[in-house]
Amino acid sequence: MAAKRCPVYGGKMKGHGRTAKGTKRWQCMSCAATTTHKVDTTAKSLKGFLAWLLSPSRQADMPGAGRSFRRSSEDFWRIWPIAPACDEIHHVVHVDGIWLGRKAVMLIACTKDHVVGWHLARSESSQAWAALMARIAPPDVVVSDGGSGFEKARRAVWPATRVQRCTFHAFGQVKRCTTTRPRLQAGAELYGIAKDLLHLDSLDEAAGWLASFARWCAEWDGFLKEKAVVDGRAQFKHERLRKARRSLERLARAGTLFTYLDAKLLEGGAVPATNNRIEGGVNAQLREMLRRHRGMGLERRIKAISWWCYLHTECPLPAADILREMPTDESIAALYRDAEGAKESEGAVARWGAAVTWNDLHTSGPWRSDWN
């Protein structure tokens, strides 16, 4: 065990009996000053809290129905895990958003191995996506499900990055319009064409798919132009089929369906055609964690997801460093107060999210009416 040092002169100390409470007393061999030493177990408690958060353990199964655990971990819910900046250029990055409330979405970016960034926002707007991308080095390819605002942000922040549109989500858009058992021949054929997207392995097959889709569009063009009068207004009779056609036409024109087959990109490594890595490897795990610990309020759900993402980054800090470096509710409140009224206030707090983490979760009134 390391020798105790005097807090005044730094000299060596020796044992000097115990206090009235039984705590061991130490005396400086130089100045005769006495003191006691307490072991700081906060970092150990934080490790226990994070282990519980990532485990299926229930508080109801703990001694005392978890009351002692809740008291010891209360302070840790005030900490906000912050995503580290990622300056490493990755070959493929997956992005997606997981909704936690009517006006709260966590945007997440990950590679095949670990999480590289997350950002809390009100919606999947271009500003929110740009805030996430700004802290991540532009990858060679980004795989996305086509969320709103993403492409505008990608052109502004990652202009040289190629886009792979998740083919399963492209197929899902058509399936929602046609159902799995279309009643019309046109719908059955379009459903089959969309399903073929999931089984293309070469550029020749991709060219054949584009040709078959073009033939379908030409063959059923007149059918899709048919109209009917409803409530005195002329409307297209097959609007759902038209919507499905438009979704595939936009993707075909954008050239983002078959990026995963580009030979030049494949030189740097395989490019997945779907967003399964983040859907199954991240979002599914987050939903399972929230289900296991159901009953948490919105703010704690947000922090729980932030903790999960942070602990799955490439190099998370030890518990002691987390306690020393991560901001808390109080430090963020002070930042908002200091920046209030200044033109740069919004930029100063952008790293915490789109102001959701404080302004919307902490109100001065006794009731909350802005959240479900």
Residue 108 DSSP label: E
Please identify which residue in the block is written with the tokens 């009643």. Answer: 183
Separation between Cα atoms, residue 98 and residue 109, nearest integer Å: 11
Closest by CA to 34, choosing from 56, 58, 4, is 4
For position 363, what pLDDT does the model report? 43
Separation between Cα atoms, residue 98 and residue 107, nearest integer Å: 7
Closest by CA to 103, choosing from 354, 305, 281, is 354
Mean pLDDT by 10 residues, the chain (372 residues): 70 81 81 76 91 90 86 92 91 94 91 94 92 95 88 94 95 94 94 95 95 96 90 89 95 93 93 93 94 91 95 93 91 76 48 49 44 40
For position 202, what pLDDT does the model report? 94
For position 208, what pLDDT does the model report? 96
Separation between Cα atoms, residue 311 and residue 114, nearest integer Å: 9
Q: Give the domain ranges of the chain.
A: 1-35, 43-166+274-372, 179-267
Closest by CA to 143, choosing from 230, 247, 300, 257, is 257
Torsion of CA 248, 249, 253, 254, to 10 degrees: -40
Separation between Cα atoms, residue 309 and residue 326, nearest integer Å: 14
For position 353, what pLDDT does the model report? 54
Q: Alpha helices, DSSP H only, in 179-219?
A: 185-196, 203-219
